[in-house]
Amino acid sequence: MKITKTNLEDAFLIEPKIYEDDRGFFYESFNKRKFDTLVNYPIQFVQDNHSRSRKDILRGLHYQIKNSQDKLVRVIHGSVFDVIVDLRKSSNTFGKWYGVELSAKNKKQLFIPKGFAHGFLVTSKYAEFLYKTSDYYYPEFERVLLWNCQSVNIDWPSKNPELNNRDTRGLTLEKCEIFK
């Protein structure tokens, strides 16, 4: 397992060791002992989520203001442009973003710590997206950072993605509830 720091504090890109031959492949998608050792961030996941979306669907940028969640995300079919934004006011990388292609082919995963907004844009015909969370989903605490907030200035691969009503009503960074 190779773990690389991103340009944002406490967020990591994870590349599992893949064992592949003519029969197929095998890899550990998560190993708590290795994760705790390499990242030095003890974690307990309590929920797994699975979504499927078609090309040009953008989901996000979501976060929970209470019961915030650490997330470990990956794609098992297709590809997405995955984005995180640091919403921790005390962080040196507050308001900054990081984007990476996650795909079934590259098998990369992204660890997203508490205090980050998260979203993704499907770049293939469709994509299946899996993620683990360290706390349960509480809709009353969910908030949405506007996907095209000018002060964050994310360079999305599509300028006209399809969003649901909730995500089109996201708030700018200046108006969002943020973390201390």
Which residue of the set 62, 63, 98, 118 is catalytic?
62
Whole-prediction pTM value? 0.94
Contact by Cβ (8 Å): 16, 29: yes
Cα 61 to the chain's mean position, in Å? 9
Sign of CA dihedral 19, 55, 5, 36: negative
pLDDT confidence of residue 75: 98
Q: Which of 124, 108, 104, 131 is nearest to 53 (CA)?
A: 124
**pLDDT tens for each residue of 52-75:** 999 999 999 999 999 999 999 999
Cα 24 to the chain's mean position, in Å? 27
Find where tokens 């969640």 sit. 69
Concerning whether 62 is annotated as a catalytic residue, the answer is: yes
pLDDT of 82 > 90? The answer is yes
Contact by Cβ (8 Å): 71, 136: no
**pLDDT tens for each residue of 105-154:** 999 999 999 999 999 999 999 999 999 999 999 999 999 999 999 999 99
Buried b (16+ CB within 10 A) or exposed e, 115-125: bbbbbbbbbbe
Q: How far apart are CA 128 and CA 151, in angstroms?
A: 30
pLDDT of 38 > 80? The answer is no
Instruction: State the CB neighbour count (10 A cutoff) for residue 59.
Output: 21
SS3 state of residue 26:
strand
Instruction: Give percent above pLDDT 90 in the chain.
Output: 87
**Cα Dmax for the chain:** 53
Q: Which of 47, 111, 54, 124 is nearest to 84 (CA)?
A: 111
Concerning whether 98 is annotated as a catalytic residue, the answer is: no
pLDDT confidence of residue 3: 87
Number of H helices and E strands in the chain, helices first, is 2, 13
Which residue of the set 63, 98, 118, 131 is catalytic?
131
pLDDT of 83 > 90? The answer is yes
